[in-house]
Structure 1
Amino acid sequence: MATGGKIDTDILSDEIFDVLCSMCKNRGKHSEGEKFCVDCHDYFCINCVTVHSQVPVLAGHKVLDKSQVKSGTSKSLPREPAERCDRHSHKHIDMYCQNHDNVGCSTCMTIEHRSCKNTFYIPEYIQNKSYLVASRAIQTKLKALARTLAVQANNFQQDKHNLLKRKAELLDDIRKFRQEMNDQLDKLEKCSVDEIENKFKLLEDKIEEGLKQLQVHKAKVKSANDKLASQNQNQAELFVHVKIGEDAENVTNKFIEDTKMKITVSDIEFQPDTKLFQQLKQNKTIGMLTEKTTKNDKLLEITGGHSYCVKLESDENECSIISACYMKNGTIIQADNKNRKLKRLDSHNYIITDWYNLPGQPWQIYETSVFISTMTGRRLKQFSTDQSGQKLFSDINSIAVSKNAARIYVADDLKGLIVLDNNGQIVTRYNSKLLQMASYCNLTEAGSVLVSGHDSNNVLQFTSDGELKGEVIKADSRKPAATLSVCCNQQMSKMCISRDGEDNIEVYDI
């Protein structure tokens, strides 16, 4: 017989059901949770999960059967990852590519890892494997990275402060130089004005002197005429007046003859210095912005690296990455010569994000001359011979130009590295056993030049003037394939090289 008292329904329900429906429990009801929402981290009964799925905002949530969740209380975690893909937000990250050691959703694997053989469904891959130790280790590394990022953030702020300060200094230099130009132009203008003033003062004085002489002769003529008109009967005096009149006539006629040529004002012209004006017209700026070469730029040191596959399923041949470069947004553009493609790589995971099929095999240049052209393609200069008339190049593989356009770097098959100024004059040459068949040259942010040797199978570093600093990547008997391209991003502390006939690129930490 039952006695009075209140039954603890929560204890009773927990004993009856493994897990409770969250929505029902909030309403004071107790229903067994048959489904689990990965995104909400809640269990739902059959009725409530229908309501959950009908809410538009929740429609994309991943719902699992209770059997797919580890046994235990309602706080148990599902066997499938709950993290959503950054690129495909409607998908969960539940796939792993062992070839690239990279996780992603099923769409990522289909698009970016379709040629990879070792892709796995994560819940199956991690069975009987413990990642607790790895989790703690990566947490320690991430904390260290967070501290490093904080330091780097301060460095960025300091760099920004220094950058803005330097910008203000340079703008002030421009204004000072402009003022100096103004002062000089003011002096030139004053000299030109003074020259005109002096010239016209002489002419004006000449006219004034002529007017004075004219008044004198006018007075003489009038006086002589007045005396002759006085009807003086004294014949002797009349003779004198006639002679005085004749003299006044002669002198005045001579004066008129001497001064009758008028000064033609229109004949006096100002001819500006057209050379000065044309020079100003030709200049786009009042000076040149240059970057000083960092003389203390140290030899790059390799601290570690990884290999990444850049072969696409559609590639018919082995890869031949003949040239490559880091873009401003951090991606890498590669020219695959044998497969006639331009490939773009994500520089974080080094996965091909997109590519473009070309009608022919990409290269940099085929001719044995260097041309300087405008942005519109109008040729300005051509360099093909040196000062003695000898051919500068044999077979050009690659060309690079310094930021200030003061230096041109040419990687030549037989003649090694050739450094020219922008007038085509040789600054220096480097050709030795250490650099055999120079295949590619690339400039670092600090102004150094990286040159890959195809037959020497290495990468050398030079100063901006072509002085050898040292060997960055040495020939490796374990990697017999010849070095093709090299590119470097010092901000990311990465260097990427490709080797002839290899489907993998090598990315090094520097």
Structure 2
Amino acid sequence: MHGSRPQVMPGNLLHTRISAKQQKRINKEDNILEKLKSTEITLKVQHEKFQREIHELMKKKTATLEHIRTFRTEINDRLDELEQNTVASIEVRYKSFIIKLEKEMKAIEGNKASIQSARDRLVSAVTNKNASQTFVDTKKGNEIVSKVVKSMEESKPKPQEPDIEFRADSRLPALLQELYALGNITQTDTKKAEHTETVSVKRKSSRQINKKSNISEAGNVPPEAKLQIIDIKKYSVKIPSDEYACNIKSACTLEDGTILLSDHANNKLKRLDSLTYSVIDFCDLPRRPWQACSISLHQAAVCLPYKQEVHFISLTDRMTFKNELTTDFKCYGLAYADNNLYISDRGTSIYIYSVLGRKLQQFSRNLSGQMLFSNICSVVVYNDGSKIYVVDSHKGLIVLDKNGKVCNDYNGTKLSIAYDSYLTEGGSLLMFRHNSRNVIIYELNGKLIGEVVKFDDKSAWQRAICCNQQMFKMIIGGNRDDIEVFDLI
């Protein structure tokens, strides 16, 4: 029995198939090598870009520090000048009195010499028993005594002459006490555009991002004033010592980039890391807090409405209580600008205090005597104190100048039941509206740009809103144990 012979593939066909397979593998390898090379070049370009940015940042840092040192030198020079002027004034005043006293002392020395001379002559006449000379010298002696006594009465030190006393100008130490730095440190967003797109968030389902361009209630959204949300993440802010579910009433960004939250339910201030958004520090408070604000790199403040106090919190090392400012009203809204605190009650008034606790102004009514506010929720203030933005849960947004005059009043359905707001470094105003369950953005001239984010979960109340310094993140908090962080571009 003969088995079937295996088919033998022609040599040229086998070679062709092997070559094609090898060629395919070689092409794949070349493609990967090309991608690796391209990626390596991209990494190199990015690395060089970051190196240049670091170099530029270091140059700017050096220039800024030099500016601070120059400013400090100017202050020292001015203080030296003030000291010299004060010393010169003291010298002039003392010199006039010293010259006068030296003149009186010289007159006394002359009188002493006249008395001594008259006495010697009279003693000589008496000793020599010269009656006529004794008579003459006695008469002259009486005249000299009368003259000297009269001179002494005229030159007698007068108790009504004022003492020279230096009284320090109390404004200087008071001002230094109120200052926390040599000046304000601001950070300008280098992005030239804020892009607004609507994001719908359904907490019981997957996140849904609407990629359609948003048209604001004021018309087409200007491209230079848009915010775009590219991602949303949740972070828990509950800590083991919390007795209740978190209820975040306020959020603010501190100068070092960390985030400060006021947890109303658990009587705490919580500090979050700027990258992980985990709680890295907290401070127990004696009563429930409301709005918090940053004052300086080393200090923050928070309202305790039920104690009618504003508590100052040290931010060095661990957060600790420093001191308090007592008010005669329940304080809810709080902002800091231009070395002053802007505090609101729950209803109808904005108060301006110095950080030392001195009440400076109160804004309650407009020029016609009508009440400005009805239910104030929060306050934000422009860096120089020129504009005060008051969020009223009934009236919406009221903008005042530093004298309390109404600049703009955005009420009506668009802003009804507005709660919290955040003033960006780029000059936009983010505002959370409870009834619409969304965040909207305004230009500071009052033009509505559009809706940034909308929440579909009606079981949760969002309340607090802030952004990081670079406007890359938007943080939203409310009556739940987690916050939501929105990535912005």
Pairwise TM-score range, normalised by the shorter structure: 0.5 to 0.7
Q: Which moved more, 1:214-223 or 1:480-489?
A: 480-489
| Matching residue of 2:169 | 276
What's the offset of the Cα at 1:298?
5.7
- CA distance in 1: counterparts of 2:36 and 2:362, whole angstroms: 56
CA distance 1:243–1:334, shift in 2 (3 Å): closer
CA distance 1:355–1:213, shift in 2 (3 Å): closer
1:507 equivalent in alignment to 2:475? no
| Matching residue of 1:182 | 80
Name the SS for the 2:378 alignment partner. Answer: strand
Partner residue of 1:203 out of 101, 104, 124: 101
Equivalent AA in structure 1 for residue 432 of structure 2: S
| Matching residue of 1:215 | 113
TM-score (norm 1): 0.52
Name the SS for the 2:324 alignment partner. Answer: coil
1:460 equivalent in alignment to 2:358? no
Q: Which moved more, 1:348-357 or 1:376-385?
A: 348-357
| Structure with larger Rg | 1
Q: In the alignment, is the contact (CA less than 8 A) between 1:398 and 1:439 conserved in 2?
A: yes
1:397 equivalent in alignment to 2:377? yes
Q: Which moved more, 1:452-461 or 1:379-388?
A: 379-388
Q: In the alignment, is the contact (CA less than 8 A) between 2:114 and 2:144 conserved in 1?
A: no
- CA distance in 2: counterparts of 1:334 and 1:164, whole angstroms: 33
What's the offset of the Cα at 1:171?
1.3
CA distance 1:349–1:170, shift in 2 (3 Å): closer
Q: In the alignment, is the contact (CA less than 8 A) between 1:333 and 1:343 conserved in 2?
A: yes
CA distance 1:397–1:156, shift in 2 (3 Å): farther
- CA distance in 2: counterparts of 1:191 and 1:399, whole angstroms: 47
Q: Identify which of structures 1 and 2 has the higher relative contact order when contacts are C-alpha pairs closer than 8 Å and 6+ apart.
A: 2
- CA distance in 2: counterparts of 1:145 and 1:322, whole angstroms: 43
What's the offset of the Cα at 1:251?
0.9
How many positions carry a matched residue from both structures?
364
Matches within 5 A, 1:281-320: 283-284=176-177, 288-291=182-185, 300-301=194-195, 302-308=227-233
1:451 equivalent in alignment to 2:431? yes
| Matching residue of 1:124 | none
Q: In the alignment, is the contact (CA less than 8 A) between 2:424 and 2:467 conserved in 1?
A: yes
Of all paired residues, the percent bearing the same amino acid is 20
Of Structure 1 and Structure 2, the greater strand share is in 2
Matches within 5 A, 1:252-267: 252-260=144-152
1:245 equivalent in alignment to 2:137? yes
Name the SS for the 2:169 alignment partner. Answer: helix
Partner residue of 1:377 out of 315, 320, 324: 324
Equivalent AA in structure 1 for residue 184 of structure 2: T
TM-score (norm 2): 0.54
1:172 equivalent in alignment to 2:119? no
1:386 equivalent in alignment to 2:355? no
Deviations 1:192-245 (A, max 9, x none): 12321221111111221232233234324433553455445xxxxx55x35523
| Matching residue of 1:412 | 392
Deviations 1:23-74 (A, max 9, x none): xxxxxxxxxxxxxxxxxxxxxxxxxxxxxxxxxxxxxxxxxxxxxxxxxxxx
Deviations 1:359-405 (A, max 9, x none): 99975368599966654113315676437787664323234466778
- CA distance in 1: counterparts of 2:406 and 2:397, whole angstroms: 11
Q: In the alignment, is the contact (CA less than 8 A) between 1:366 and 1:396 conserved in 2?
A: no
Equivalent AA in structure 1 for residue 56 of structure 2: Q
- CA distance in 1: counterparts of 2:288 and 2:94, whole angstroms: 68
Equivalent AA in structure 1 for residue 176 of structure 2: N
CA distance 1:351–1:373, shift in 2 (3 Å): closer
Partner residue of 2:474 out of 480, 495, 499: 495
- CA distance in 1: counterparts of 2:114 and 2:364, whole angstroms: 78
Coordinate RMSD, CA, aligned: 5.6
Name the SS for the 1:219 alignment partner. Answer: helix
- CA distance in 2: counterparts of 1:381 and 1:397, whole angstroms: 23
| Matching residue of 2:411 | 432
Partner residue of 1:191 out of 78, 89, 94: 89
Q: In the alignment, is the contact (CA less than 8 A) between 1:449 and 1:461 conserved in 2?
A: yes
Equivalent AA in structure 2 for residue 507 of structure 1: F
Equivalent AA in structure 2 for residue 248 of structure 1: K
Q: Which runs of 5+ in 2 are unaligned?
A: 1-30, 196-226, 292-302, 313-321, 327-356
Q: Which moved more, 1:404-413 or 1:290-299?
A: 290-299
- CA distance in 2: counterparts of 1:339 and 1:228, whole angstroms: 106
Q: In the alignment, is the contact (CA less than 8 A) between 2:309 and 2:324 conserved in 1?
A: no
CA distance 1:424–1:153, shift in 2 (3 Å): farther
CA distance 1:249–1:337, shift in 2 (3 Å): closer
Equivalent AA in structure 2 for residue 454 of structure 1: H
CA distance 1:368–1:144, shift in 2 (3 Å): farther
Equivalent AA in structure 1 for residue 62 of structure 2: L
Q: In the alignment, is the contact (CA less than 8 A) between 2:253 and 2:469 conserved in 1?
A: no
Q: In the alignment, is the contact (CA less than 8 A) between 2:395 and 2:411 conserved in 1?
A: no
Q: In the alignment, is the contact (CA less than 8 A) between 1:440 and 1:485 conserved in 2?
A: yes
- CA distance in 2: counterparts of 1:141 and 1:432, whole angstroms: 53
What's the offset of the Cα at 1:425?
5.0
Deviations 1:256-301 (A, max 9, x none): 4224568669998854332426743762469841247969996632
Equivalent AA in structure 2 for residue 491 of structure 1: Q
| Matching residue of 1:471 | 449
- CA distance in 2: counterparts of 1:372 and 1:426, whole angstroms: 25
CA distance 1:227–1:300, shift in 2 (3 Å): same
| Matching residue of 1:65 | none
Equivalent AA in structure 1 for residue 324 of structure 2: G
- CA distance in 1: counterparts of 2:405 and 2:307, whole angstroms: 14
- CA distance in 1: counterparts of 2:283 and 2:382, whole angstroms: 28
- CA distance in 1: counterparts of 2:110 and 2:307, whole angstroms: 76
CA distance 1:415–1:496, shift in 2 (3 Å): same
Q: Which runs of 5+ in 1 are unaligned?
A: 1-132, 233-237
CA distance 1:323–1:193, shift in 2 (3 Å): closer
Name the SS for the 1:441 alignment partner. Answer: strand
| Matching residue of 2:340 | none
